[in-house]
A and B are shown apart, each in its own frame.
Chain A
Amino acid sequence: MVRYDMEKPLGYIYHIILLLNLAIVTLFSLVMYQTTYLVCEADQARVFLEQARYLPHIPWHVPVYAITSFLLLAVSGYVKSRLDESQFVLTFLIFLADIAITFFIAYNLNFSYKGLFLFLGVGAFFFISYLPLRYLAIALVMLGYIFTDYDIISVQLNLVSLQDYIGFYSPSTQIPLYSIRSTLESLNLVMVILFFQFLIQSKIRENKEFIKVNNELSDKLYQLEILQVKLEESARLKERNRLAHEIHDILGHSLTSISTGLEACIELSRVGSQELHRRLMKIRSVTNKGLTEIRRSVRELKSDAIAKSSLLNAVQEMINDANALGDRSVSFVIIGNAIAIDEDEEKTVYRLVQESLTNSFKHSRSTDITVTFNYSNHQLMVIIADNGVGCETIRKQFGLEHIEEQIAILGGSVHFESAPNCGFRTYATIPLRTGGMNQ
């Protein structure tokens, strides 16, 4: 149980307070007992009764009742510590009995000592774990503490205070008695304060540990989520790859065959019907267009393949595909030591190259395109340059804008250079997270 293993200092202080209160109760009750006989020996009994505002307790009752009741309190503390936390109702009932016992002790000591209620208050924190009952218990204890004050009680009950008893001793005895009394009472107070100090500390520690464990848990959860996404991604890639292969192998092959067949048909039709020739030419154009579309589709589907292979291989493959179209030449230059970079970086670079090549093909009417990867320390520079018509002003379309954003997210930058008849250049700089040249 919590209160037993983590609150060891609290347990020690609780027991110190217990012993301290036993000492105080014993001292007070013995003083009251002893003083009675002293008063009788001095033949001051009648005067004492005149000063007493209430029939004093029978002398031997005071220590016997007070100390026995206190031992009962100690036993009740032991019983409460043995009870399970779920038996909080029983604990609370025992605690109510404790309050009654404490009142009885206070009555026997003529309400001259109310520190016992502090001891009970400490017990409430120590034993009662169910919060509403704990607060109720503390409220009761506080009421007890306030109303057992001698000055309040004596108005109603007319009791002889301990002061009156001590007053019967000679000053040489009074001074040590008073000092022992106040020392013990102050010590009790200090111990109670210490108890709460430790209680607060242990609560703070408990809280910190809780927060730490909580943080660890949410970290793990986050990692799990990432893993999940990766798994999904990988499954998706696999499927895409399969699709790409199938389109490329089956549809692409068929179209290529058709195209080859059509070439032959066109050669044959050149001599025949003008109309047939024209139609065949139209079909070839449509077929080639379809073949191009399929290739493009496959290329796009396969773009995610970079997750599997390296970026360089993927780019090389893309360039090979472009070269296979025949009418232009694309070259790939790598400067510096190529290193493995993070997936998101790879993806962005791949898209950049892809988008730039597509743009060149579409708009530049170029014959020569150069893709350059320049690896330097913690940075990759990508340059795509063509020798096409260029343009006067760069109109960023959705593709370019998207690429710019992606690169900005990675902390990199991109800029474009172009002039009429001077080609189009794309410069992109991407800082690399993983290592530099030495990696």
Chain B
Amino acid sequence: MNRRPGNGWFRILFLLAMIVMIVVVAVGIGIYRSRTVVLELALYSGNSWGVPQNFAYAIYDRAVELFEQRYADKGYRVVLRTGTMYKDYSEWFAQLVLKGKEPDMFLILEEDFNTYAAIGLLERLDTYIENSDLSPAEFFSNALEAGQYQGSQYSLPMGIVPSFLIVNNDLLDSLGLSLDLDNWTWEQFYNLCEQLTADIDGDGVPDRFGVEGYDWHHAFYTNDTSLFNETSTKAGFNPERFAEMLQFFKRLHALNQGVLIRDGMFEEGKVGFKTFNLSEYRVYGSYPYRILRYDTFDWEAIPFPSGPHGRSKSKLYTVQLGMSSRSRHKDVAFEFLKFISSDEEFQYQIWEHTNMLPVNCSAFNAIYDSGIMQRDSLRPLDRRFIESVMENSYIDPDFKKYPVIDDYITQRIFTIIAQDEDIPKGVSSLHQLINELLEDEYSVRTLTR
């Protein structure tokens, strides 16, 4: 078939020329767009520890301002995407991801972190960190750990909120009870709670209680280290310790005789202990909020009591920022993440504009050294106490199915206690359940949360 080959070649050449033109135009547009770097940052108002925050975006405005100043020569710009409440953020952000319109950088909810790292939405930061002057030693290590998934860094922390217990000193004093923090164990804690729990109005149900907000996680982490093995493929807890925890938790639970402790009972002076975090402490422990709450009695922060095989541990809340693997300006985005998490000037501002602590150690030191805490007429918060709380904190396991499995464990523990099951048997069945859930992808996938 020799149909004038010259003509055919001409056509092919024409096609090639067209393709080359299209490529040139595309590359041109790409270069133009990469010159003017405009980063987007998705934010929520509110936080995971449920403490109101005035001017929620003020800190981010400040960050943008400082960042743009610092890179004024490069002309980087950062645009904030605001207006979403904390509770709506997960779905709102997921929709952006599905539509492919997620911003370059975004705040990550704790419950979303594992999923987004697992599906590849979050850009892996390891190589960026290696190529930068960012030093992991400058961070509180637990804060950095919270942004790791399977050994890789996927997000950088901005601020942290450690948690602890608070105690109503007046209530304990009035009952002639005292704390021995040198021997601060479950046993002492249980005894105090037992003595605190009482039916004052004589209606047959207790109306004064030991502790508010204490759940099995608090007990578990003060007696064991990890729920899962290192690779998160199997349950990794010690069954005896878990049984001890359940036993203790069951006893503690039994004190209340089935009465649920309402939110705010501690504030009314009817509860001896309450789980608390720094953010709450900051809000209610300083002017003006301290007038609204917790002002009728004397209270102070104490660590969690330790189990027979563990030591005092508490959950560390962090605010994590990550960047999209589909961002067009990943290098600049990383610069911003790095700036947010390690720039000393900005990190210092975190104390000014939020109820968090900075993740950067030198900024933390600067805050303590500057006497700024006293300026805010904050209740005294011992530096050594807060440092030891942060050091002895845990972060939630970092795999995709964890939130679902956590729900299962909570439900199972509740049934073991409520139905008075044999504890060792219950623990081994729970062990098995966790392994099955970890193995069987589908049962977890289909569970709607």
Q: State the A residues within 8 Å of B (CB).
A: 1, 4, 36-37, 39-40, 43, 45-61, 79, 82-85, 158
Contacts and interface: CB of A to CB of B under 8 A. Distances in A.
Given A36-B99, A48-B98, A52-B119, A84 B326 contact: no
B98 A53 contact: no
Contacts of B11: 82
A49 B96 CA distance: 11
B95 A40 contact: yes
Interface residues of B, number: 28
A59 B100 contact: yes
Nearest to A5: B1
Interface stretch (B2-10, B280-288, B298-306): B2-10
A89 to B, nearest CB: 15
B12 A48 contact: no
B448 interface: yes
Per DSSP, chain B at the interface is: helix
Contacts of B195: none
Contacts of B112: 46
B97 interface: yes
A95 B334 CA distance: 42
A49 B1 contact: no
A37 B96 CA distance: 10
A49 B98 contact: yes
B326 A58 contact: yes
Contacts of B95: 40, 43, 45
**Which 10 A-B residue pairs are closest in the complex by CB-CB distance?**
A58-B100, A45-B94, A1-B1, A46-B94, A45-B95, A40-B95, A55-B120, A55-B119, A45-B98, A46-B91
Given A50-B449, A79-B12, A83-B8, A59 B1 contact: no
B243 interface: no
Nearest to A75: B15
Contacts of A45: 91, 94-95, 97-98
B435 interface: no
14 contacts: A37-B99, A40-B99, A43-B91, A46-B91, A46-B112, A48-B94, A49-B121, A50-B400, A50-B449, A53-B119, A55-B326, A59-B99, A84-B5, A158-B119
A336 to B, nearest CB: 67
A49 B445 CA distance: 10
Contact of A50 (B5, B115, B120, B326): B115
A61 B100 contact: yes
Given A4-B1, A43-B91, A84-B1, A54 B119 contact: yes
B325 interface: yes
A61 B5 CA distance: 37
Interface string B47-80: 0000000000000000000000000000000000
A56 B449 contact: no
B90 interface: yes
Nearest to B88: A43
Contacts of B90: 46
B350 to A, nearest CB: 28
Interface of B: 1-3, 5, 8, 11-12, 90-91, 94-95, 97-100, 112, 115-116, 118-121, 325-326, 400, 445, 448-449
Q: In this complex, which of A39, A48, A79, A82 has the most chain B Cβ atoms within 10 angstroms of its Cβ?
A: A82
B121 A55 contact: yes
Contacts of B8: 82-83
Given A46-B91, A49-B119, A40 B5 contact: no
A37 B2 CA distance: 51
B445 A51 contact: yes
Nearest to B444: A50
Contacts of B116: 49
Contacts of B448: 47
B86 to A, nearest CB: 14
Contacts of B400: 50
Given A45-B98, A55-B325, A82-B3, A50 B91 contact: no
Contacts of B94: 45-46, 48-49
A135 B120 CA distance: 39
Contacts of B100: 57-61
B395 to A, nearest CB: 20
Contacts of A61: 100
Q: In this complex, which of A51, A85, A158 has the most chain B Cβ atoms within 10 angstroms of its Cβ?
A: A51
Contact of A55 (B1, B5, B97, B99): B97
Nearest to B3: A82
B255 to A, nearest CB: 37
A244 B315 CA distance: 134
Q: In this complex, which of B2, B100, B115 has the most chain A Cβ atoms within 10 angstroms of its Cβ?
A: B100
A207 B325 CA distance: 59
Nearest to B447: A50
A361 B268 CA distance: 161
Q: In this complex, which of B3, B91, B325, B326 has the most chain A Cβ atoms within 10 angstroms of its Cβ?
A: B91
Q: In this complex, which of A4, A52, A54 has the most chain B Cβ atoms within 10 angstroms of its Cβ?
A: A52
Nearest to B100: A58
B98 A84 contact: no
